[in-house]
Chains A and B, each alone.
Chain A
Amino acid sequence: MDRNTFIAGLSDLPARCILKDEAELRPYECDGLSAYRRLPWLVLLPETIEQVQFILAYCHTHNVPVVARGAGTGLSGGALPLDNGVLLGLAKFSRIIDIDLPNRLARVQPGVRNLAITQAVAEHGLYYAPDPSSQIACSIGGNVAENAGGVHCLKYGLTVHNIAELKLITIEGELLTIGSPSLDSAGYDLLALLTGSEGLLGVIVEVTVRLLPAPEQAQVVLAAFDSVAAAGQAVADIISQGILPAGLELMDTLAVRAAEDFVHAGYPTDAAAILLCELDGEQHEVEVQIDKVTQLLQASGANEVRRARDEAERLRFWAGRKAAFPAVGRLSPDYYCMDGTIPRKHLGQVLSTIAQWSKAYGLPVANVFHAGDGNLHPLILYDANKPGELERTEEFGARILELCIAVGGTITGEHGVGMEKIDQMCVQFNEAELQQFHAIKQAFDANGLLNPGKAVPTLARCAEFGSMHVHHGELPFPELERF
């Protein structure tokens, strides 16, 4: 459809909600994955649920695709705009609507920042558990769309485990309530299906999150190791002993040095790896478990085990970990953050393979990861201004993801598939599984107007990508036309 004709039909929308000039559109050309950029066709910034309903129904009528975006901090290009469709920004939906203290629920608009929820309820001794590293900036609507995780996931779960209800607008403009303030709902568990669906099934306009009591005590232990493998073994030892840490994070030497230079957390910079293990809960229980973890770490071969002396030091230990990404960013003009998850037992093998490939590609890698749940974040350092380096980085990253699949893991633990990992979806899922995803998408969005081209690849795309992966001489999807 012609853009001007389309815009003319939006006359019910206040002019301030419509961005159409190139200078206005430019800031929206990418989300947190800046390697992919595209000038949007049109940006719409609605302010009410009715306006979102109107926009979606209007797009549906005119067969115009829509990409919803929250704070735009996503790292997989899930909110990359289209050059033939609307970018629907939900940043103006930034109000906390209601806090229900007795039921420990907060009803918020999708543009509310993750950390703002905890800040709003902290005075009542409550908090919202999922804590993506970007929690200071990322919005809850995006967290739901990506099923965001963070440090707390092993003990407190992902976004899907911490939400109660969604208000969702379908591509036809219909407002649906999914879930409830109770602990479960009648019918299929659509709350699970929608969480992490990357904006392909509907547009979220309200989220009710579950709040937890803030732990009475949180205590952290830092352990330094001569090898990453020894640190990995220590993780297995802690979990095998029946201890469930609130956070269990590993950083390799490159990440440790970068973080130390950046925030001066007091990390031992000569260590091959450091492990941060936080225990939280009832005070006496934490004391006992901290002692036990300290002994386990010493027995696992840690050459230094240090317990944070006070709250200030605990926060400093975490500040280094939370700032690891920007800290690594100071080492190189660009870095590419990967996000695969593996069974923890393969940690040593996967990390040594990444180290070998790092040498072969001539691209340094810093490893920062959620060791407790096997979620790796290898950061590949590169320089986008050097010809061919971005392409080499992407190829290296793709190999890392395929390695994660090969050892029984997955291509994304918390960042989503988006545009970034869409080819690797063809490796993780077979044709029938992808077709099943498409059938589910059809149930919500028959014309494929919501966030097209993201998260779930078409079979034609897999046929092209798969041509590089001919196993046992069998051509994948032989019935499909070749390109």
Chain B
Amino acid sequence: MTNTDLTETFCEQIRDAEEKGTPLAITGGGSKMFYGRRPDINAISLDTTRHCGIISYEPSELVIQARSGTPLRDIETRLSDNNQMLAFEPPHFSENATLGGTIACGLSGPRRPYHGAARDFVLGTRVINGKGEPLHFGGQVMKNVAGYDVSRLMAGSLGTLGLIAEVSLKVLPRPACEYTLKQVCNQAEALRRFADWSGRPLPLSAACWYEDHLYLRLSGNEDGLRHAQHRLGDSLLESLPDWWDNLRDHKHPFFNRPDPLWRLSVPPATPPLAVKGDWFIDWGGAQRWLYSNDNPEQIRRLVTSIGGHATLFRNATERIEVFHPLPTPLLKLQQRIKRAMDPAGILNPGRLYPEL
């Protein structure tokens, strides 16, 4: 694995761009280029992939620190060698996925509802702001409440607030054993069961529904899992080795369609939504994938009314905004935060919202 620190080069590049007012398009491995709004066509590419290497990792501290261009696969291999994992189960989407892109996009896999999101595992970051200043926030300890939590703010900000140069993440032990259960079930009943099970002390680590079947993953030691399986009733235990990885990385055939794919984030116990289309439900009901020809504004209105939001996740069209519109006061506040981090507005402008 290469080990290169380009922090100073990035700082100079950003300072230069700030001076000239040139927008920059920060990119990592490009595995999630499909996600979000299109980069500014006048932007100069700033590639982070050569800025890589694991800086520190001590299994007994449950922390790994690495540069943003470090391939996700390298990090996961290193953790796996020590029976540890990234518990938010980040999507890869391709072999090129990097740590920086993972945090900048803030996406999490099937384990998210039971163990936390990408942002929950961020302990610290080194960030280069829009003035080209390298700044360090958070650290490598589990508890740190000194100063504003800028590190976790970076998760999901799509590089619009700063270039993520380094990240420290909390890691967790890998479970000794995992079972996947499959049950025949319609969508409404699956959502009811997810809500019921999520409120009980069961070793759940993933729960999804697709085509009249629900799938449940249990993680823990063998005795505990067998006991939990009995408590879940007439469950069918299936060997589905790639099921959760394929869901995480969108390799499941459901995600192959060229149509616009919606991601609805809703309170998990929300009953089936009155939208015609093809559904794949993940995160125990909280993340709902949808192909639909219904009016996008209607979809968004419906989701807003139940406290959720809708993202046009893949195959976006020019006509429809990718991200859910923000209420005006909140958008104005977010614009001021963007200006606080990137006064010249040169970092990935417009990638998240046209105004940011």
Contact = CB atoms under 8 A, between A and B. Distances in A.
Interface of A: 100-105, 124-126, 146-147, 149, 153-154, 157-158, 160-161, 170, 174, 176-178, 180-190, 192-193, 195-197, 201, 213-216, 236-237, 239-240, 242-244, 281-285, 287-289, 341-345, 370, 372-375, 408-417, 421, 425, 428-429, 432-433, 436-437, 439-444, 455-456
B337 A443 contact: yes
Contacts of B133: 432, 436
A183 B112 contact: yes
Given A192-B119, A412-B146, 13 more contacts: A125-B201, A153-B142, A158-B145, A176-B329, A182-B265, A183-B268, A185-B309, A189-B157, A197-B149, A242-B83, A341-B142, A343-B63, A429-B146
B118 to A, nearest CB: 10
B336 interface: yes
Given A126-B199, A288-B221, A440-B148, A370 B143 contact: yes
B60 interface: yes
A77 to B, nearest CB: 14
A416 B286 CA distance: 33
Interface in B226-250: 226-228
A425 B202 CA distance: 42
Top-6 shortest CB links A-B: A102-B269, A242-B173, A285-B224, A192-B152, A413-B143, A373-B142
Contact of B135 (A124, A342, A374, A436): A436
A433 B265 CA distance: 34
B61 A343 contact: yes
Given A157-B116, A196-B149, A213-B198, A282 B203 contact: yes
Contacts of B140: 343, 408
Given A160-B149, A440-B340, A409 B137 contact: no
B148 A282 contact: no
Contact of A374 (B120, B142, B269): B142
Interface of B: 58-63, 83-84, 106, 112-113, 116-117, 119-120, 129, 133-137, 139-150, 152-153, 155-157, 161, 172-174, 176, 195, 198-203, 220-221, 223-224, 226-228, 265-269, 283, 286-287, 307-309, 311, 323-327, 329-331, 333-334, 336-337, 339-341, 352-353
A354 to B, nearest CB: 17
Given A182-B286, A213-B200, A344 B61 contact: yes
Contact of B145 (A181, A196, A282, A342): A196
A214 B202 CA distance: 10
Nearest to B284: A183
B269 A283 contact: no
A92 to B, nearest CB: 26
Contacts of B341: 436, 439-440
B149 A192 contact: yes
Nearest to B198: A104
13 contacts: A183-B113, A189-B153, A192-B149, A213-B201, A242-B176, A281-B224, A285-B224, A341-B143, A375-B142, A410-B139, A414-B143, A433-B136, A443-B333
Given A181-B267, A185-B309, A442-B340, A412 B144 contact: yes
Nearest to B142: A373
A176 B195 contact: no
Contact of B62 (A177, A197, A215, A239): A239
Contacts of B155: 189, 192
A174 B329 contact: yes
B141 A374 contact: yes
Contact of B141 (A285, A343, A416): A343
A146 B143 CA distance: 12
B122 to A, nearest CB: 9
Given A180-B307, A288-B221, A370-B143, A189 B201 contact: no
A126 B201 CA distance: 9
A197 B207 CA distance: 34
Contact of A439 (B63, B307, B323, B340): B340
Contacts of A429: 136, 146-147
Contacts of A345: 58, 60-61
Q: Which of B146, B223, B269, B333 has the most CB of A within 10 A?
A: B146
B286 A196 contact: no
A437 B174 CA distance: 36
Given A103-B195, A160-B149, A436-B340, A409 B141 contact: yes
Nearest to B264: A182
A283 B143 contact: no
A417 B201 contact: no
Contact of A242 (B58, B161, B174, B339): B174
A282 B201 contact: yes
A288 B324 contact: no
